[in-house]
Chains A and B, each alone.
Chain A
Amino acid sequence: MQQIVNGLLIGFMYSLIAIGLTLIWGVMNIVNFAHGDFLMVGMFTSFWLYTLYGLDPLFSIPICTALLFVMGILIYRFIVSKVMSGPMLAQLVVTFGVSIFISNLAVYFWTPDFRQITNPLLSGTWEVAGILLSIPKFVASIGSVITSLAVFLFLKKTRTGKAVLATEMDREAALLMGINTDRINSLSFGIGAALVGIAGAFLSTYYYIYPQVGGTFGLIAFSIVALGGFGSIEGAFIAGILVGLVQTLGGYFFDPSYKYAIVFMIYLITVWIRPQGLLGW
């Protein structure tokens, strides 16, 4: 039971990270390999705001979000938009370059050391019916669910959101309907990055912060996105929770060092049976 709760708590976090990735993937057909590094930037932003100015991670969420949003748009404008019409291989490789660049920029400025936020506002554990519930993880999960829901509503209810979905379904048709797809791309990239900004701020309250932290999260996010299905927000949400559970239970029943390998195995088995992912089309 404890393991299931732990799995859910990490799963909600994965969902939030993966939703940002699937949005970018779905709208632009670009796999953002720098996604994990965006997360790292979010975590470091929150870390430095706390260490230098004493701002609690909980309150630095808006700053992280805004910063990552701008960063996402800039990266889209100056790098990603340039390869959109290029060969697919270049589209795959370009974000790898961005990823290596960002993570080593962090190494250059902040050394590869592991850091931690000590004594944030959210800390400690609750005990509910014999199950230990880490407060920062619990709050992070709630925040992640609310954010995911907000993204979902934004896409389904607002005009801009509908334009994003239309672009995702059929770029040319959307263009013919008078949707400025370039702006939609830019917006989606910004939102995708902003979402990991939020995730990063939450994660910084209980996770180690170091330049390479994005690597594992990024790889898992890809599996989640592909598992949930190409560009499917609901799929990413469900798959995120699923992966969180599989990882924790797998680590519990087998060996913790194999937990990521199990996640990737599940992914490979799924795409073998359903190449388009669970909820993809």
Chain B
Amino acid sequence: MRNIPSRQFVSAGIALILLIVFPLVVTNTFYQHVMIIFFMFAVMGVAWNIMGGYAGMFSFGQVAFFGIGAYTSSFLLIAYHVNPWIGLVIGGLVAGLVAIAIGYPCSNLRGHYFAIASIAFGEIVKTLFNNWKLVGAAEGLSLPMLDSGFKNFMFHASKIPYYYTILAFLLISLIVCYLVSTSKMGYYFRAIKEGHDVAKVLGINVVRYRLFAIVISAFLTAMAGTFYAQYVLYIDPESVMLLPISVQIVLISMLGGAGSVMGPVIGAAILIPISEGTRVWLGHKGTGIDMLIYGFLITLISVYQPKGVWGLFSNLGRGTR
């Protein structure tokens, strides 16, 4: 048993090296773009997993945190010329505060009720931004062109710096998730997930730990939001606050295997190339056929692989040992 984790670390290391080399070998910008989107959704999947997979709160409103992150940094940059990196931290903190404000009243909700409350939350946030004149309402925000460079979090010549930035974000999220899952907090999360009342009786402050999970998740998701804004340089409520994005995040975690550190990464690796590919190759006609395939895929996964691909791997491993 002792060499299993180290073997995992070795394979993770190899995967990391391959990912670092990737953009140097594959110079096609479309493939690089797909990888960037893959990392971005992987970050959000990992973030979702902390509250959904570990603490058992199935949020379908993650897109609100994503949007808040994107909007906070962009707005600060446009109105007050705040550096996007500082905007990123502030965006994460704002998302965290909003998470507490919404998470506290929802701290007694379970299962379906929590899921629907999170959808309602996402829709409220979207409606607010759609009507909020200060942040451009439905027209959204266009980011000003700054000098290209790491300091401004803006790169015009190539996608490669974006690629490494979001890869670094993904590593940070994975480390956070790993630390959480192996800490006492992680055990509390799982205890709450398995039995809300039992955890309470055992003396775990359920409300506090659920809030911890939501805040961590919100911060990481907002980080991805700022990245998206800096990458695309244009945001509006329809692009950063749509319910299908939340669903995509949930799906990624579910497909990969909720409640495992690497699960969402695997889920994103499978799903994002498919959804980006069908969008580019079939979606431009506006016939909805890309979404048709996507919907079909969701149904298929839920019916045939509901425990996720990660579960499949670990089952195989157990079988051979």
Chain A 95-136 residues near chain B, CB threshold 8 A: 96-108, 112
User: Which residues of chain B from 112 to 128 have any CB-CB distance to chain A below 8 Å in the complex?
Assistant: 112-113, 115-117, 119-121, 123-124, 127-128
> Which of B113, B131, B243 lies in contact with A257, CB distance below 8 A?
B131
- A-B pairs under 8 A by CB, number: 148
- Which residues on A sit within 8 Å (CB–CB) of B295? 97-104
**Using an 8 Å CB-CB cutoff, how does the interface string of A43-55 with B read, 1 for contact, 0 for none?**
0000000000000
In residues 152-204 of chain B, which contact A (Cβ within 8 Å)? none
Q: CB of B244 within 8 A of chain A?
A: yes
* A→B interface (CB under 8 Å): 25, 29, 31, 79, 82-83, 86-94, 96-108, 112, 211, 215, 219, 222-223, 226, 230, 255, 257-258, 260-261, 264-265, 267-269, 271-272, 275
| Complex: chain A residue closest to B285, CB-CB | A108
Once the chains bind, are A98 and B299 in contact (CB under 8 Å)?
A: yes
Shortest distance from the beta carbon of A173 to any chain B beta carbon, whole Å:
21
Which residues of chain A have C-beta atoms less than 8 A from B120's C-beta? 219, 222-223, 264, 267-268
Whether B299 lies near A105 (C-beta < 8 A) is no
Residues of A within 8 A of B250 (CB): 89, 92-93
Chain B min CB distance to A86 (Å): 4
A-B residue pairs in contact (CB < 8 Å), sample of 16: A29-B112, A86-B307, A89-B258, A93-B251, A97-B300, A98-B295, A100-B292, A101-B298, A103-B288, A108-B289, A219-B119, A222-B116, A257-B131, A261-B127, A268-B102, A275-B108
Going nearest first, the 10 A-B pairs with the smallest beta carbon separation are: A97-B298, A101-B295, A100-B295, A90-B306, A107-B288, A97-B299, A94-B302, A272-B105, A104-B288, A264-B120
Instruction: Select one of B112, B117, B258 contacting A31, CB under 8 A.
Output: B112
Instruction: Tell yes or no: B294 within 8 A of A by CB.
Output: yes
Inter-chain contact A88/B109, CB cutoff 8 Å: no
Q: Is B98 an interface residue (CB 8 A)?
A: no
Docked Cα-Cα span, A257 to B126, in Å, equals 11
Chain B residues 280 to 318 lying within 8 A of chain A, measured CB to CB, are 286-289, 291-292, 294-303, 306-307
The residue in chain B whose Cβ has the minimal distance to the Cβ of A81 is: B303
Q: A272 to chain B: which residues have CB within 8 Å?
A: 105-106, 108
Which residues of the partner chain B approach A106 to less than 8 Å between Cβ atoms?
288
- What 11 new A-B contacts, CB under 8 Å, besides A97-B298, A108-B292, A222-B119? A89-B58, A89-B258, A93-B298, A100-B291, A105-B288, A108-B287, A211-B288, A223-B120, A258-B127, A261-B123, A268-B124
Across-interface contacts of B111 in A (CB, < 8 A):
88
Residues of B bordering A, CB below 8 Å: 52, 58, 60, 102, 105-106, 108-113, 115-117, 119-121, 123-124, 127-128, 130-131, 243-244, 247, 250-251, 254, 258, 286-289, 291-292, 294-303, 306-307
Q: Are B306 and A264 in contact (CB under 8 A)?
A: no
Query: Contact at B123–A271, with CB atoms within 8 Å?
Result: no
Closest-CB distance, B209 to chain A (whole angstroms): 18
Interface pair B306/A86, CB less than 8 Å apart: yes
CB-CB nearest in chain A for B112 = A31
B307 — which chain A residues lie within 8 A by C-beta?
Answer: 86-87
Give the distance to chain A from B150, nearest Cβ to Cβ, in Å: 38
Contact between chains at B127 and A257 (CB < 8 Å): yes
Select the residue from A25, A79, A90 with max chain B CB neighbours within 10 A.
Answer: A90
